[in-house]
């Protein structure tokens, strides 16, 4: 399935002309409606008065109720304005449930066929933007079930046998998360491929390596780019582990206690490609730890991406001048004609804030809830959807940026002599001569101080100057000075030595399936 | 090794008489020193003046190119020894592995190695005996130990930092620390699981109200509820196990960021320190703290789980619920109200989840937007990490003790059960079995409940005629489905509260946790 990030999140009625998202009390719902859907009490009272003329539909759970809810409560508690996005999974779950009910003799095969056909029709209507989402029907489950009853009558009333919205929503959500994780994993791999391709273009380019943002040691650019690839691989690993825990089936846990009807939870779990049914029905409907884990994995990935964003924005500045993004991934200023800003990477850095915020929202949400379903849990969806949308966008834009930047080799090369990048290599030289490292560090430190006073580089010091600092220096010292020499001296596993980096690059090309 | 939560975090000089945590400019450092160790600029200037008379400052080990020492304010602001001394065990472990590798590779002599190892052993003993002097002017745990080693054994110690940087050293220490901390938490999780299973085993047949929206929903067996926590804890453990796998790679030998030109063997040190393998990219190895983030995130999710147990048990201990009574051993009183017996430990379990989540936030914010390779900012990862682990260990310990020291008030619970129509869903299932579609059943039972509300009675107290008036499908066998005992007995689905299902779950958990029957 070829989802784009847009289609996974927003494939959708509401953003398309002709879509109908209707309710007696509100004409249209905002998609991320915090605030927007929450009018002041005074305004709400006024609009309620206007609405009293409408005759409200009795809720599907209305048996013991004598009065309907107020409009303000209805607006405040509805979730259809965002949970309609789960329709595909809700229908998938209902079909598996109906098939199981029929296998178990709880409904007839005829009823099952009618239900499946009705659900197919509804799914098509939704995809063609012809389905009317009603706020007074609260949520995606009730909207679909009520529409099914309208279309096919009695058999549809049997669909909710041995099922509750409590297990239904968490089944929908686990199915949604599973697809979302798969989608993110693809995007992560695409970014990794782009970074490896970029690294392959600059196999020999030496750049300054920084610690504390001070020049530290020379490194090969591919070594730096592959460090991001490593981080992304761990991000993917966290999502894969999360997916394993997501992929258990709560369906059949019903409200909280299971059911006395002879259902087969293993059949529905298998149908929906879950690993197994969840073992404890109270746990199944109570918990959202899989959402928390997913949002935490996204947050860590987002922090990683924010670091690429920071680095590339920095490198694109006049002062660094190490990279140039192409026009395709840059934007201009409304007032300053000369500007070409790396906005996409700034927004990658910036959007990490909302991904972290989404995690905070759901951690706060779940804190201190007693066991089994609480309505609070409805608030898990918008942050979840938002986090996934943000992370998909961030990965996509990083990938495009990586495909559309060039490193300014000349500028980088000409800047390399500054900053004593070869000092640590010089200390290693002294170690090889038998000087203890702490003493070597001290000697090279004094050599650097000499350079500072003479305003020159280490390689520019005369052998006599060096010998004056310490007699151990010999003529072969110049093989260790200068960034090219310095880089060539690295040999340790995982280091910036060119053989090491070539090996890493080759390993990643194989692992990611990039043909040479 | 039998750590307690105290010993893992605070085992330590500073809390032991005779311990010395000294610095020329400050007599003693607070352990979680945010704020406390940060005096105002004016005060700092004054105290600096006073200190100028003190002994001449030691030159830093990295002082070769520097002409001036740092100011006292900068020294105080940037030091980390007041908390990173807690890593000493791992720092020494890493140094010993490094020295052994340097000798195997011919980078130092076997004699130098032996001197270094012996010196490090002596220092470790001094620290454990509270006789080691931690100096703030030596910045951090690495420099404190290395400088002390040079003082003790001289020249050979100056070779120890060959092909190593504090950048790879600190992250090696931290990964080793996290690995032990995770193992400790895993043990605590299992202890809590065992306590919950033991508690469940004491009340095999006790029916309690199951709630959704905190309204009475369906009757459940108490063990079913308690085992739902056990399931959650098992996933918490799973997250930590996965985290441990990613923690357990060795950054040592990444040096400052680029590796080294000296012929070191990173596979040997990785193996010595029981890491899975060396990390593959030296820049990545020193730059990232994603393993800390993952650990803190796993702790946060576990903390949220524990906060939910806290909420539920506090609720159940209230007069209004009255479902459980903690023993005096795990309760506290009021300074003014003589009758009070408060479940404070579980309130603090709920409350301490806030700091665990806060610690995660701190480190996420810390890491956001840092360019690649080591940045000093990363020093700020330690206090939140230590705090999170201390909090979660305490929470698990107290939950375990609470679980061992509560009793459920079976009589009170039983007498409260008839209220709330807990058998209504079972009645709907009865109608489904009679061939009524579920939505219609729901409607019929809903109307039956409305009838009960108007008559102020329970479903089981309705006459058959009353029920037949609601819908003719009701027959005399309906009474087999009414009342909570009947209702609970009707559950048969996998994972449900049916007593066979719960017995099976309980037995599975006893086996998995190694509890003998």
Q: Which residue in A211, A367, A439 is closest to B353 by CB distance?
A: A367
Cβ <8 Å between B261 and A492? yes
Find the mean pLDDT for residues B141-159.
94
Alpha-carbon gap: B383 to the closest alpha carbon of chain A (Å): 19
Instruction: Return the percentage of chain B with pLDDT > 90, whole number.
Output: 72
Q: Which amino acids of A are annotated catalytic?
A: 212, 333
Which architecture, in CATH terms, is A79-161?
Orthogonal Bundle (1.10)
Q: What is the pLDDT of residue A403?
A: 95
Whether A430 has a pLDDT exceeding 50, the answer reads yes
Q: What is the pLDDT of residue A12?
A: 39
Cβ <8 Å between A257 and B375? no
Whether B111 has a pLDDT exceeding 70, the answer reads yes
The count of C-alpha atoms lying within 13 angstroms of the C-alpha of A177, restricted to the half-sphere facing its C-beta, is: 33
Q: What is the pLDDT of residues A119-167, one digit of tens each?
A: 999 999 999 999 999 988 889 999 999 999 999 999 999 999 999 999 9
Q: What is the 3-state secondary structure (H, E, C) of B57-68?
A: CCCCCCHHHCCC
pLDDT, mean over chain B: 87
Which architecture, in CATH terms, is A414-512?
Orthogonal Bundle (1.10)
Whether A40 has a pLDDT exceeding 70, the answer reads no
Whether A404 has a pLDDT exceeding 70, the answer reads yes
**Best A227, A448, A496 residue to mutate vs chain B (most B CBs within 10 Å):** A227
How many Å apart are CA A193 and CA A96, to the nearest integer? 38
Q: Which residue in B231, B308, B374 is closest to A280 by CB distance?
A: B231
Alpha-carbon gap: B105 to the closest alpha carbon of chain A (Å): 12
Instruction: Return the percentage of chain B with pLDDT > 70, whole number.
Output: 89
Chain A (279-338) residues lying within 8 Å, Cβ to Cβ, of chain B: 279-287, 289, 292-293, 296-297, 299-300, 303-304, 306-307, 309-311, 314
Q: Is B514 on the interface with A (CB under 8 A)?
A: no
Give A-chain residues touching B62 at CB under 8 angstroms: 441, 445
Q: What is the pLDDT of residues B7-30, one digit of tens each?
A: 344 333 433 333 444 444 433 333
Give B-chain residues touching A230 at CB under 8 angstroms: 279-281, 284
Size of interface A-B (CB pairs under 8 A): 435
Choice between B496 and A49, residue whose per-residue pLDDT is larger: B496
**What is the DSSP annotation of A59-108?**
PTTGGG-SSPPPHHHHHHH--HHHHGGGHHHHHHHHHHHHHHHHHTTSS-
Pull the structure tokens for residue A36: 């927007």
Find the mean pLDDT for residues A56-76.
78
Helix (H) or strand (E) holding A132: strand A132-134
**Best B283, B395, B459, B489 residue to mutate vs chain A (most A CBs within 10 Å):** B283
Q: Is A352 on the interface with B (CB under 8 A)?
A: yes
Q: What is the pLDDT of residue A494?
A: 95
Q: What is the pLDDT of residue A460?
A: 92
Q: Is B369 on the interface with A (CB under 8 A)?
A: yes
Whether A20 has a pLDDT exceeding 60, the answer reads no
Contacts of B339 (CB under 8 A, 6+ apart): none
Residue B160 contacts residue B149 (beta carbons within 8 Å): yes
How would residue A207 be classed by pLDDT, with cut points 50, 70 and 90? very high
Whether A423 has a pLDDT exceeding 70, the answer reads yes
Give A-chain residues touching B281 at CB under 8 angstroms: 223, 226-227, 230, 494, 504
Q: What is the pLDDT of residues A239-276, one digit of tens each?
A: 999 999 999 999 999 999 999 999 999 999 999 999 99
Q: What is the pLDDT of residue A333?
A: 76
Q: Is B220 on the interface with A (CB under 8 A)?
A: yes
Find the mean pLDDT for residues B304-309.
96
Q: What is the pLDDT of residue A64?
A: 76
Contacts of B348 (CB under 8 A, 6+ apart): B310, B398
- Tell whether domain B167-414 is in CATH 1.10.760.10: no
Find the mean pLDDT for residues A292-300.
97
Q: Which fold has domain B80-162?
A: Fumarase C; Chain B, domain 1 (1.10.275)
Rounded alpha-carbon distances, angstroms, from residue A171 to A147, A252, B208, B479, B494: 20, 10, 26, 33, 16
Pull the structure tokens for residue B481: 């489905």
3-state secondary structure of B340: coil
User: No. of H helices and E strands in chain B?
Assistant: 21, 8
Q: What is the pLDDT of residue A380?
A: 94
Q: What is the phi/psi pair of residue B324, to 5°?
A: -140, 155
Q: Which residue in B360, B496, B505 is closest to A257 by CB distance?
A: B496
Cβ <8 Å between A371 and B442? no
Residue B392 contacts residue B356 (beta carbons within 8 Å): yes
Beta bridge pairs of residue B221: B207
Q: Is A212 on the interface with B (CB under 8 A)?
A: yes
Domain B417-513 maps to which CATH number in 3.50.50.60, 1.25.40.20, 1.20.120.530, 1.10.40.30? Answer: 1.10.40.30
Whether B47 has a pLDDT exceeding 80, the answer reads no
Give A-chain residues touching B290 at CB under 8 angstroms: 231, 234-235, 300, 303-304
Q: What is the pLDDT of residue A144?
A: 96
Q: What is the pLDDT of residue A332?
A: 79
Whether B189 has a pLDDT exceeding 80, the answer reads yes
Q: What is the pLDDT of residue B76?
A: 82
Give B-chain residues touching A390 at CB under 8 angstroms: none
Q: What is the phi/psi pair of residue B515, to 5°?
A: -90, 125
Evaluated on CA atoms A466, A471, A474, A475, the torsion sign reads: positive
Cβ <8 Å between A62 and B263? no
How would residue A54 be classed by pLDDT, with cut points 50, 70 and 90? low
Give B-chain residues touching A432 at CB under 8 angstroms: 262
Q: Which residue in B62, B266, B283 is closest to A492 by CB distance?
A: B266
Alpha-carbon gap: B254 to the closest alpha carbon of chain A (Å): 7
Q: What is the pLDDT of residues B248-268, one digit of tens each?
A: 999 999 999 999 999 999 999
CATH number of A166-411: 1.20.200.10
Neighbours of A120 (CB within 10 A): 12
Q: What is the pLDDT of residue A336?
A: 77
Find the mean pLDDT for residues A326-348.
84
Q: What is the pLDDT of residue B112?
A: 95
Q: Which residue in B266, B298, B433 is closest to A493 by CB distance?
A: B266
Whose tokens are 């703290």? That residue is B289
How would residue B56 be classed by pLDDT, with cut points 50, 70 and 90? low
Find the mean pLDDT for residues B376-387.
93
Chain A (434-463) residues lying within 8 Å, Cβ to Cβ, of chain B: 436-439, 441-446, 448-449, 452
Find the mean pLDDT for residues A190-200.
97
Cβ <8 Å between A210 and B372? yes
Alpha-carbon gap: A249 to the closest alpha carbon of chain B (Å): 11
Cβ <8 Å between B62 and A279? no
pLDDT, mean over chain A: 87
Whether A48 has a pLDDT exceeding 70, the answer reads no
Q: What is the pLDDT of residues B439-470, one digit of tens each?
A: 889 999 999 999 999 999 999 999 999 999 99
Find the mean pLDDT for residues A379-408.
95
Find the mean pLDDT for residues B60-75.
79
**What is the DSSP annotation of A195-223?**
HHHHHHHTTT-EEEEEETTEEEEEEEHHH
Q: What is the pLDDT of residue B43?
A: 36
Residues in chain A: 516
Where are any strands of DSSP class E within A221-359?
248-249, 276-277, 323-325
How would residue A353 be classed by pLDDT, with cut points 50, 70 and 90? very high
Q: What is the pLDDT of residue A516?
A: 65
Q: What is the pLDDT of residue B12?
A: 39
How would residue A75 be classed by pLDDT, with cut points 50, 70 and 90? confident
Give B-chain residues touching A375 at CB under 8 angstroms: 213
Alpha-carbon gap: A194 to the closest alpha carbon of chain B (Å): 18
Q: Where do the structural domains in chain B lie, given as residue ranges?
A: 80-162, 167-414, 417-513
Q: What is the pLDDT of residues B312-360, one digit of tens each?
A: 999 999 989 999 999 888 888 777 777 878 888 999 999 999 999 999 9
How would residue A467 be classed by pLDDT, with cut points 50, 70 and 90? very high
């Amino acid at each position: 399935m070829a989802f784009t990030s847009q289609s996974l999140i927003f494939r959708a009625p509401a953003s398309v002309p002709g879509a109908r998202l209707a309710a007696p009390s509100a004409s249209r719902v905002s998609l991320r409606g915090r605030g927007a859907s929450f009018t002041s009490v005074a305004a709400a009272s006024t609009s309620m008065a206007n609405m009293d003329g409408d005759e409200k539909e009795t809720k599907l759970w209305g048996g013991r109720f004598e009065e309907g809810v107020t409009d303000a409560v209805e607006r405040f508690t509805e979730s259809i304005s965002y949970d309609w996005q789960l329709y595909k999974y809700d229908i998938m779950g209902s079909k598996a449930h109906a098939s199981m009910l029929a296998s178990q003799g709880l409904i007839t095969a005829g009823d099952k066929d009618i239900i499946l056909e009705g659900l197919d029709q509804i799914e098509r209507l939704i995809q063609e933007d012809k389905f009317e989402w009603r706020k007074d029907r609260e949520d995606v489950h009730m909207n679909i079930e009520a529409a099914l009853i309208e279309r096919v009558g009695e058999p549809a009333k049997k669909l909710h046998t041995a099922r509750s919205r409590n297990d239904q929503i968490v089944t929908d959500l686990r199915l949604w998360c599973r697809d979302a994780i798969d989608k993110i994993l693809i995007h992560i791999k695409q970014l990794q491929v782009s970074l490896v391709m970029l690294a392959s273009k600059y196999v020999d380019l030496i750049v300054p390596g920084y610690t504390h943002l001070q020049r530290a040691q020379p490194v090969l650019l591919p070594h730096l780019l592959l460090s991001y690839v490593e981080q992304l691989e761990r991000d993917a690993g966290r999502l894969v582990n999360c997916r394993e825990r997501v992929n258990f089936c709560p369906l059949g846990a019903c409200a909280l206690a299971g059911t006395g009807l002879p259902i087969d939870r293993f059949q529905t779990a298998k149908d929906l490609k879950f690993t197994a049914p969840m073992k404890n029905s109270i746990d199944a409907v109570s918990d959202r730890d899989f959402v928390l884990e997913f949002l935490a994995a996204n947050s860590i990935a987002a922090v990683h991406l924010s670091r690429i964003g920071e680095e590339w924005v920095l490198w694109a500045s006049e002062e660094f001048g190490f990279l140039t993004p192409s026009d395709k991934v840059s934007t201009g200023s409304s007032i300053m004609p000369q500007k070409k800003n790396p906005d996409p990477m700034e927004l990658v850095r910036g959007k990490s804030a909302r991904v972290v915020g989404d995690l905070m929202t759901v951690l706060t949400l779940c804190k201190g809830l007693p066991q089994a379903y609480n309505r609070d849990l409805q608030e898990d969806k918008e942050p979840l959807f938002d986090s996934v949308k943000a992370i998909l966008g961030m990965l996509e834009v990083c990938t495009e940026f990586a495909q559309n930047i060039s490193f300014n080799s000349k500028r980088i090369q000409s800047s390399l002599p500054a900053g004593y990048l070869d000092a640590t290599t010089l200390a290693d030289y002294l170690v090889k001569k038998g000087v203890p490292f702490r003493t070597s560090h001290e000697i090279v430190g004094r050599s650097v101080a000499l350079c500072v006073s003479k305003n020159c580089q280490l390689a520019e010091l005369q052998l006599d100057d060096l010998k004056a600092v310490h007699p151990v220096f010999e003529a072969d010292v110049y093989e260790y000075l200068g960034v090219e020499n310095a880089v060539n001296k690295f040999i340790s596993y995982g280091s910036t030595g060119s053989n090491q980096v070539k090996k890493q690059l080759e390993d990643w090309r194989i692992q990611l399936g990039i043909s040479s």
